[in-house]
Amino acid sequence: MAPKRCCITGALHYVHTRLCRALRWVYVGELCLLCQLRQASIVTSPLLVPLPTMGIPKIWMELKQVEENISIISHTLSAGFLANPSGTRTMLIGIDASAWMHCAAANEKSGHGNARQELWARVERFLTAAVTLVFVFDGPGRPGLKNGRRICKNGHRLTGDFKKIIEAFGCAWFTAAGEAEATLANMSSVGIPVPIDIVQSDDSDCFAFGASAVLRIRSEDKKNFQASRYSAADISQTLGLSRVDFVLIALLVGGDYYDGLGNCGIATALGLVRAGFGATLSKAIEGKSNNAARHALLAWREELKQELQTNASGMLPTRKPALAQSLPSSFPKLDIIRLYLHPIVSEDIPGLVIQRRMPNLNALAILAERLFNWGHIAGIVKRISSRILPSLVVTTLITSTLANDHGQASPRPPILKRIERERIHPSTGNIREFRISVALDPAILNDALIGLTSEHEPIGSWSETEVTKMRVWIPASMVEAVDRSWVLDFRCGPAVGTKTSQKIQGGSTRYTAISTTFRGHEQILIMSDSDGEL
């Protein structure tokens, strides 16, 4: 069901919208945070309420120079499916499951929907892209304190159901030996216990743990699946920051394990890093016993204090004599440094296989019936046909492409019925997409409903009308990889329109670019809203 507009109408709607955006309230569809308190809806946005800053405060602003804004659909298509560095035709993404659960629980506590529903929707949304997901849960070896709070070692209340959701969608998960984000960083940098291409996290401490690439999700709604990508190589080349530099910044400004120096700002911390104190911090402790390391840190601390007083390197914004005088005698703490540089991480895990698999529709249906108010027969079938169907088609295309890669040529999957039209749309990064008519066997839907506790009638009559209407937008490159001749037949047939959403502004006249394909050749028409102008 389409989202309803905000409860403020007429001329006040504009003012209301601008006010909400100024206050950084997040919209789901056209519902603002205020209006969601009045209307129950399915939550698909990852963050609806403010959460405590994870990692180093204000560091993301300093990383703006290397931030790459991407469309998840477009980026995973090019970097995963087409480039295929892992041989899986997907981008391998590691996710901190605990962070997702804490975010969902916070949203639920503030009155924004169902936490389990949010977790379900996020996995569901990700699987519309060319990705393989692996979720990592915090393990028993994680530190007892984080963000100044004592950590409960009994596990999160959402853990059991979230693992079932992950498995039902065909994704992998495992429990780390310690902090999930430390193991994820290790997976991205050295490939242990399994290699991944990128870590999905909002916690900047990932860089202090050595992550090679980090993905921050900006929006997960239907019209805008966007993220920011950060590469450790770009950070090193452009900003000159290494892993140990992030550790020093966390010690000075504050991070997950230490509150930092109260009167040290990010500019001062970056100045000390550029003066070389990150590199000398690492040399002071590496390969030394605890006693020797503590002795070396005393000398390092005196050098740091001298720099704060004099700004001899010229890297600080100004001299900081007050900060030098207030420097705690215990700074820096060796145990905190080693939590970052030598965290407890998972080693090889026998039997752990990371691959893209088909969702288990029956397992999803049983979970939905137990967890959600839409978990009745009609609601489940509608969810499969509208929200889960795109991931079924994408997984089918990836599987067929992998078979072709290995010389096992296979016919076009029967689920692909007909290419109806083509488009270029900003919601998916302006890639070419086909509108595919899907032939979903009604028996698949019937099998998905086996084992439900509620009685239900056969869905034959429903399938006669609704199944024939199932259509999905799929990247054209994925379809071409499976059956190029089918695509050629479509493009070489009668003139086929390709919709675009790009508006060209020129003075008071608005122009629309329309791309068409005729007999294999692309043609661009520029049309205006002036009478008779083409």
Quick: pLDDT tens for 416-433.
999 999 999 998 999 999
* Cα distances (Å, whole numbers) of residue 90 to 74, 76, 179, 214, 465: 12, 7, 26, 17, 34
pLDDT of residue 150: 60
pLDDT band (50, 70, 90) for residue 47 = very low
Which phi and psi angles does 505 have, rounded to 5°? Answer: -95, 135
- Asked whether the CA dihedral 162, 164, 170, 176 is positive or negative, the reply is positive
pLDDT confidence tier of residue 43, bands split at 50, 70 and 90: very low
- Provide mean pLDDT across the span 22-40: 37
Of 268-272, 383-387, 395-399, the one with minimum mean pLDDT is: 383-387
pLDDT tens figures, 456-483 = 555 656 555 666 678 999 999 999 999 9
pLDDT at 331 over 60: yes
Higher pLDDT, residue 265 or 54: 265
CB atoms within 10 A of CB 139: 19
Residue 37's pLDDT band (cuts 50, 70, 90): very low
pTM across the whole model? 0.83
Dist CA 465 CA 234 (whole Å): 52
Cis bond leading into 195, ω under 30°? Answer: no
Average pLDDT of the segment spanning 49-73: 83
Tell me how far apart the alpha carbons of residues 255 and 205 are, in angstroms, rounded to a whole number. 7
What percent of the chain shows pLDDT beyond 70? Answer: 78
Q: Is 226 helix (H, G, I), strand (E, B) or coil?
A: strand
What does the pLDDT read at residue 112?
80
31 — pLDDT class (breaks 50, 70, 90)? very low
Q: Determine the average pLDDT of the residues in 514-524.
A: 48
Q: What is the mean pLDDT of the chain?
A: 83
* Long-range contacts of the stretch 261-269 (C-beta < 8 A, 24+): 261/323, 261/326, 261/327, 261/328, 261/331, 263/322, 263/323, 263/326, 264/320, 264/323, 266/56, 266/57, 266/58, 266/59, 266/61, 266/62, 267/317, 268/308, 268/316, 268/317, 268/320, 268/323
As annotated, the residues of the chain forming the CATH 3.40.50.1010 domain(s) are 52-239
**Percent over 90 (pLDDT), the chain:** 63
Write down the pLDDT at residue 110: 86
Q: What's domain 52-239's architecture? A: 3-Layer(aba) Sandwich (3.40)
3-state secondary structure of 420: strand
pLDDT tens profile 80-126:
999 999 999 999 999 999 999 999 999 888 888 899 999 999 999 99
Unique residue bearing structure tokens 């000390």: 272
Q: Are strands 496-500 and 416-424 parallel, antiparallel or unpaired?
A: parallel
Least confident of 12-21, 218-227, 319-328: 12-21
